[in-house]
């Protein structure tokens, strides 16, 4: 049997009926409130409150009682059938150890959304609940998250007779002041209950002197100002009023500030002012809450200080505008900011900020920081462990100063819960910083992967260039050697010789083997450093970790809470304070290790960034060298072909006989002219003699060139005949085979 948390709650059978029904017995309810109505009135009132016309996902649905089930009732009182929710009620959820200082942020937002939607629906249908409390909210597991449903509408009041009522029932801790004073009331009584409920879900305790008796409570709380949202006792017993949302809680700074102002609307003492929003007017509290729930919040962890900054962003806002706000908050110039995702991916300023925000209303699981961005300062070459601890709650600071201070049981319960929560936050903050260091490491590995690809490309390009250089150098060397062999009887050209030697000198300047070797050595050294970083001491299991200390503190707190009532005496806090001090020391030690690793990571990244332009420069130079070699090779071959063209132009017809006879035949006309000269040649003038000498020299050079061409053609013919031509014979045989087959 699952019972509710108050006297007025009925019974729920467990497991549910096959049709998903919960059967509630109204007898216990009637006795609990001492009602004297007749059976007929009880039945009609209950059925009216749970009438099927109410259809909302956050209001428990009424069901028809199956035929024959009424006979199972122990008396004549009617059975009420309603939707069965297997998740238990909100009180059970709030009583879990993990929620001692409030629910997680995601769970709070979902709960506020569900309950606000349900109350708005009831009020639109002219129904006041009047008994809104954790015991009257049940949980149903949906596809992606928990769904909250309001139950116990048996005492919901319809807004008839001028929308005013003069009777009430409910739990005193959540009742509005006008109900306690038995005054007339409106829907604003639900605002007070909703505000009280929301405050408890955020902080883990009720806002107004939760351990006081109703009479004293009412007398003291009515002294609060309109904006006060908490009245509490400190450890010395002094009552304090505050308009601020107390710490600890699990809200980010933006939500804490917005919900603080919203709670001030919901917890106003005077009912006419309660729920009135400055923007939306009377009863505008729901629209104000919608604005809060619809906020798009970008979370950024500043790895310089370890502080999480939260920024509301619009749908069209880019990271560039967010960076301007980050500069204002952190002092890091926009151009030096680097935002990384958990996987180490750097974000571009032109991207929409909302692309990096998870919808918290779609998932109520504990935050995994998957949408947390990590901020780094690119101007920093080393990170110092300057992370400040979160501020301690006032009561925790008091106990740290005097762990032997004797406290009442309810004070011990609250303080110990806050100390355990403090240790949990130390663990989470440490994990978040380690997550940031890992993001930096992943980013370094991305750079290293790109650098490795560039190294492979550079090595491949270097090998290609070396092969081309070796080929060109060998070719030009052979050309020079052959030129020397024939210089005495062949062609001589100082211009050609000079050009070849100039080419030989030019290619000596090409090739970057030394530069490539140096860069490869630097990259291999960087690779070694990165491998050492990956062998991080952060990954090794060590004794006395924050996880161990947090678990020990949890166990102490659990044993305190589960003490039998007769053993709930006063005591001190020495044991749990010792765990807190150890946790602080462990946190500071681990943060130093994290930041030492982060500094090494930043140094490696800086080395990688310095190597990128150097590798690109060497690769560009090698590309230029390759183009130079290709250009020189083309120039060399063009000069050879030009030389061959000149030689061929001197040869007309087949080459026969000796070079001398060829020379005689080719120079027949000039020779004939010479033979026609009279025998008195020696008597010619000096100019004629010189002309004859030049003609003879020209004849000699032409003969030499023709000899070279003849030898070249002969060598080519021999080389051509020396090739393997057997494939032609095979092809001929293959061609003849089909013909023979046809014959």
- Give CA separation, 106 vs 364, 367, 418, 573, in Å: 5, 7, 20, 32
CATH assignment of the domain containing 161: 1.10.510.10
Does any domain span residue 36? yes
Q: Each residue of 1-17: b (16+ CB within 10 Å) or e?
A: ebebbbebbbbbeeeee
What is the rounded distance in angstroms from the CA atom of residue 549 to the CA atom of residue 294? 38
Q: Is there a contact between 263 and 231 (Cβ–Cβ < 8 Å)?
A: no
Instruction: Tell me the pLDDT tens digit for each residue of 551-590.
Output: 999 999 999 999 999 999 999 999 999 999 999 999 999 9
Residue numbers of the domain that contains 361 = 296-380
Does any domain span residue 25? yes
Does any domain span residue 61? yes
Tokens (6 digits) for 381? 């070459």
pTM of the predicted model, to two decimals?
A: 0.76
Does any domain span residue 618? no
Range 360-363, long-range pairs (CB < 8 A, 24+ positions): 360/105, 360/106, 360/109, 360/110, 361/109, 361/110, 361/113, 361/145, 361/293, 362/144, 362/145, 363/106, 363/144, 363/145
Does any domain span residue 632? no
The SS3 of residue 638 is: helix
Say if residue 58 is in the same domain as residue 150. yes
- Spatial CA neighbour of 444 closest among 612, 648, 315, 636: 612
How many structural domains is the chain composed of? 4
Say if residue 204 is in the same domain as residue 309. no
Assign residue 182 a region (left: φ > 0; alpha: ψ between -120 and 50; beta: otherwise): left
- Give CA separation, 415 vs 205, 235, 422, 550, in Å: 12, 9, 10, 15
Does any domain span residue 396? no
Residues with Cβ < 8 Å from 442, sequence gap 6 or more?
340, 342, 343, 344, 345
Does any domain span residue 276? yes
Say if residue 165 is in the same domain as residue 308. no
Residue where one domain finishes, among candidates 592, 611, 630: 611
Residues with Cβ < 8 Å from 616, sequence gap 6 or more?
454
* pLDDT score for 77: 74
* pLDDT score for 303: 94
Residue where one domain finishes, among candidates 265, 293, 321: 293
Within the chain, which residues score under 50 in pLDDT? 1-19, 23-44, 46-52, 155, 158-170, 366-368, 543, 652-684, 727, 731, 738-743
* pLDDT score for 534: 85
The SS3 of residue 129 is: coil
First vs last Cα of the chain: how many Å apart?
A: 103
* 113 membership: H or E segment, kind and range: helix 105-124
**Is the bond leading into 365 cis (omega within 30 degrees of zero)?**
no
* pLDDT score for 11: 37
CATH assignment of the domain containing 313: 3.10.20.90
What's phi and psi for 636, nearest 5 deg? -60, -45
Does any domain span residue 531? yes
- Give CA separation, 338 vs 242, 346, 373, 609, in Å: 40, 7, 10, 14
Say if residue 459 is in the same domain as residue 588. yes
What is the rounded distance in angstroms from the CA atom of residue 574 to the CA atom of residue 579? 9
Beta-sheet pairing, 373-377 with 337-340: antiparallel
Which position has the token pair 């030697």? 501
Q: Is there a contact between 415 and 434 (Cβ–Cβ < 8 Å)?
A: no
Say if residue 194 is in the same domain as residue 255. yes
CATH assignment of the domain containing 521: 1.20.1270.250
Catalytically annotated residues = 131
Q: Is there a contact between 500 and 636 (Cβ–Cβ < 8 Å)?
A: yes
Q: Is there a contact between 586 and 544 (Cβ–Cβ < 8 Å)?
A: yes
The residue count of the chain comes to 743
What's phi and psi for 683, nearest 5 deg? -90, 0
- Give CA separation, 296 vs 329, 353, 366, 371, 737, in Å: 19, 9, 18, 12, 83
Neighbour-count burial of 525, counting CB atoms closer than 10 A to its CB (0-12 exposed, 13-18 middle, 19+ buried):
exposed
Say if residue 335 is in the same domain as residue 450. no
Torsion sign over Cα 641, 643, 644, 645: positive
Q: Is there a contact between 156 and 137 (Cβ–Cβ < 8 Å)?
A: no
Q: Is there a contact between 618 and 626 (Cβ–Cβ < 8 Å)?
A: no
What is the rounded distance in angstroms from the CA atom of residue 217 to the CA atom of residue 580? 34
What is the rounded distance in angstroms from the CA atom of residue 717 to the CA atom of residue 494? 29
* pLDDT score for 356: 75
Strand partners for 312: 297
* pLDDT score for 521: 92
Say if residue 375 is in the same domain as residue 429. no
Instruction: Tell me the pLDDT tens digit for each residue of 111-144.
Output: 999 999 999 999 999 999 988 999 999 998 888 8
Q: What is the 3-state secondary structure (H, E, C) of 167-188?
A: CCCCCHHHCCHHHHCCCCECCH
Say if residue 367 is in the same domain as residue 262. no
What is the rounded distance in angstroms from the CA atom of residue 585 to the CA atom of residue 597? 19
Residue where one domain finishes, among candidates 266, 293, 320: 293
What is the rounded distance in angstroms from the CA atom of residue 468 to the CA atom of residue 360? 62
Beta-sheet pairing, 373-377 with 296-302: parallel
Say if residue 288 is in the same domain as residue 304. no
Residue 372 CB neighbours (<10 A): 20
What is the rounded distance in angstroms from the CA atom of residue 305 to the CA atom of residue 589? 16
Q: Is there a contact between 585 and 608 (Cβ–Cβ < 8 Å)?
A: no
Q: Is there a contact between 288 and 262 (Cβ–Cβ < 8 Å)?
A: yes
Say if residue 425 is in the same domain as residue 493. yes
Which runs of E-coded beta strand occur in 26-156? 62-63, 79-83, 127-128, 137-141, 146-150
* pLDDT score for 47: 47
Beta-sheet pairing, 79-83 with 146-150: unpaired
Residue 82 CB neighbours (<10 A): 22
Say if residue 592 is in the same domain as residue 487. yes
Say if residue 172 is in the same domain as residue 281. yes
């Amino acid at each position: 049997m699952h019972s509710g948390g108050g006297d007025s709650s009925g019974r729920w059978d467990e497991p549910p009926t096959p049709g998903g029904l919960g059967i509630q017995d109204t007898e216990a309810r009637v006795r609990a409130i001492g009602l004297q109505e007749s059976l007929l009135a009880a039945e009609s009132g209950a059925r009216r409150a749970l009438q099927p016309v109410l259809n909302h996902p956050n209001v428990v649905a009424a069901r028809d009682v199956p035929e024959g089930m009424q006979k199972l009732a122990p008396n004549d009182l009617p059975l009420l059938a309603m939707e069965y929710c297997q998740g238990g009620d909100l009180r059970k959820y709030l009583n879990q150890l993990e929620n001692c200082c409030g629910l997680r942020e995601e769970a709070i937002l979902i709960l506020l959304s569900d309950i606000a939607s349900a109350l708005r629906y009831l009020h639109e249908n002219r129904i006041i609940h009047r008994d809104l409390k954790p015991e009257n909210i049940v949980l149903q597991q949906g596809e992606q998250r928990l769904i909250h449903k309001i139950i116990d509408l048996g005492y919901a009041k319809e807004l008839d007779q001028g929308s005013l009522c003069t009777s009430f029932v409910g739990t005193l801790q959540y009742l509005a002041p006008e109900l306690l004073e038995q005054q007339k009331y409106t829907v604003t009584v639900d605002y007070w209950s909703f505000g009280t409920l929301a405050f408890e879900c955020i902080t883990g305790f009720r806002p107004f002197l939760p351990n006081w008796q109703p009479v004293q409570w009412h007398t003291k709380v009515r002294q609060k100002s309109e904006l006060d949202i908490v009245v509490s006792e400190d450890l010395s017993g002094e009552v304090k009023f505050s308009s601020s949302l107390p710490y600890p809680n699990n809200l980010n700074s933006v939500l804490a500030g917005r919900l603080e102002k919203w709670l001030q609307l919901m917890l106003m003492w005077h009912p006419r002012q309660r729920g009135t929003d400055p923007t939306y007017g009377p009863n505008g509290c729901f629209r104000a809450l919608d604005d809060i729930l619809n906020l798009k919040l970008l979370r950024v962890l500043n790895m310089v200080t370890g502080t999480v900054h939260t920024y509301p962003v619009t749908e069209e806002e880019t990271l560039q505008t967010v960076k301007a706000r980050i500069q204002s908050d952190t002092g890091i110039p926009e151009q030096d900011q680097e935002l990384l995702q958990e996987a180490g991916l750097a974000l571009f300023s032109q991207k929409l900020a909302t692309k990096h925000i998870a919808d918290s209303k779609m998932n109520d699981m504990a935050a995994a920081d998957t949408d947390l961005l990590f901020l780094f300062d690119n101007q920093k070459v080393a990170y110092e462990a300057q992370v400040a601890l979160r501020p301690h709650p006032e009561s925790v600071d008091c106990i740290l100063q005097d762990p032997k201070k004797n406290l009442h049981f309810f004070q011990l319960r609250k303080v110990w819960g806050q100390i355990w929560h403090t240790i949990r936050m130390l663990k989470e903050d440490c994990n978040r910083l380690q997550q940031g260091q890992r993001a930096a490491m992943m980013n370094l590995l991305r750079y290293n992967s790109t650098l490795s690809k560039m190294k492979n490309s550079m090595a491949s390009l270097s090998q290609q260039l070396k092969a081309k250089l070796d080929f060109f150098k060998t070719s030009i060397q052979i050309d020079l050697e052959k030129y020397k062999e024939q210089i005495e009887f062949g062609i001589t050209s100082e211009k050609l010789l000079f050009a070849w030697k100039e080419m030989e000198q030019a290619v000596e300047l090409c090739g970057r083997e030394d530069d490539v070797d140096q860069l490869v050595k630097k990259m291999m050294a960087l690779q070694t450093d990165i491998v050492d970083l990956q062998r991080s001491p952060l990954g090794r299991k060590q004794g006395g970790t924050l996880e161990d200390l947090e678990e020990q503190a949890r166990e102490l707190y659990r044993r305190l809470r589960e003490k039998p009532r007769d053993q709930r005496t006063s005591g001190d806090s020495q044991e749990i304070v010792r765990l807190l001090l150890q946790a602080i020391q462990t946190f500071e030690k681990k943060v130093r290790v994290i930041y030492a690793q982060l500094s090494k990571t930043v140094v490696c990244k800086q080395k990688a960034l310095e190597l990128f332009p150097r590798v690109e420069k060497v690769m560009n130079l090698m590309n230029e060298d390759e183009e130079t070699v290709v250009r020189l090779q083309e120039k060399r071959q063009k000069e050879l072909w030009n030389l061959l063209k000149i030689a061929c132009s001197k040869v007309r017809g087949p080459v026969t006989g000796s070079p001398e006879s060829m020379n005689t035949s080719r120079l027949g006309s000039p020779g004939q002219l010479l033979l026609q000269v009279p025998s008195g040649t020696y008597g010619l003038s000096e100019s004629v003699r010189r002309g004859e000498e030049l003609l003879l020299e020209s004849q000699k050079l032409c003969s030499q060139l023709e000899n070279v061409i003849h030898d070249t053609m002969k060598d080519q013919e021999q080389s051509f005949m020396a090739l393997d031509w057997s494939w032609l014979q095979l092809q001929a045989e293959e061609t003849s085979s089909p013909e023979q087959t046809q014959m």
